[in-house]
Structure 1
Amino acid sequence: MLSAFIVLGGLVAFLTYLSAKSHNNRVVANPDINYLDPVPLTTASLVLGIGLGGFIDGIVLHQILQWHEMVSNRMPPVTLTTKSVNMFWDGIFHLFTLMVVFTGIILLWKLLHRENIDRSGKILAGGLLAGWGLFNIIEGIIDHHLLKLHNVKEVTAHPGFWNFGFLGISVLMLLMGYWLVNKKRQIPADISR
């Protein structure tokens, strides 16, 4: 059930490695240009976006709209017992999103005293948006399609429509976040300030 968080953790580590390698290659190729490092803020905002995306999913779709619960496709919440089981797994889900948010906050806090990093609002916003989209895509593929734990909207004649629509919107969020981060990252430090 928590496999989406394991996959997301591995993906963030891999993307951080690729971003750091790309930044280092850019610095080596252009030693006369003073580049600020975008990787730490990109990583921190991506992690924070994953956690916040999970909270938004849990608060809006699980609690306010009550479209689904964590295991509502496997165990419909029609009795007090099945409702309690779903609520328990929603709580575990929220605990993990809280841990991811704390991790993102710690990563941001560690950036306070570093001077060689890019502190662009576009990188922050892009990372948050990309992290949210990434959370939705991984969680949607694993929980909605592979494990079939729940659908985006359980009580509907066409749950597949909602599941694929959720993924489509999430891909757009990821692409928009990626665009924002990369738009800023292509500007050297000399001319970006």
Structure 2
Amino acid sequence: MQERQRISAAYIWAGYLLGFALGGFFDGILLHQILQWHHLLSLVDGVGDISNQVLFDGLFHALMYVIAAVGCDFSWNEDPVLECAPEGGQ
């Protein structure tokens, strides 16, 4: 008898959140800091001062850390036993 595993919604959300945060880290570190192609608010009028743009880049990084921490919390605090159901079962 084959069994299939059902993954908890917390693990799925953990994957989404960690993937989103890693994308934000890639954008913030590579494109904002290393290559300096753009800043978070480059095209917003009234935020032309580079110190303000760097400040908002830093806040963006802090938000990505929070999102990554929530994703890690979702995956670490979930019950590690996955629910198994026989094929064709409920």
Find runs of 4+ consecutive structure 1 residues off by over 6 angstroms.
none
Deviation sequence 1:134-173 (CA, Å, 0-9, x none): xxxxxxxxxxxxxxxxxxxxxxxxxxxxxxxxxxxxxxxx
TM-score by length of 2: 0.77
CA distance in 2, matches of 1:76, 1:101: 31
In the alignment, does 2:3 pair up with 1:37? no
CA distance in 2, matches of 1:101, 1:54: 10
Q: How many residues align?
A: 86
Aligned counterpart for 1:102 among listed residues 60, 65, 69: 69
1:1-193, aligned counterparts within 5 Å?
34-38=3-7, 39-75=9-45, 82-111=49-78, 113-116=79-82
TM-score by length of 1: 0.39
CA 1:61–1:117: 2 relative to 1, 3 Å: farther
CA 1:117–1:62: 2 relative to 1, 3 Å: farther
Higher relative strand content:
2
- The unaligned stretches of length 5 or more in structure 2 are none
CA distance in 1, matches of 2:22, 2:86: 29
Higher relative helix content:
1
Task: Output the aligned Cα RMSD.
Answer: 2.9
- The unaligned stretches of length 5 or more in structure 1 are 1-31, 119-187
Counterpart code for 2:39: E
Larger Rg: 2
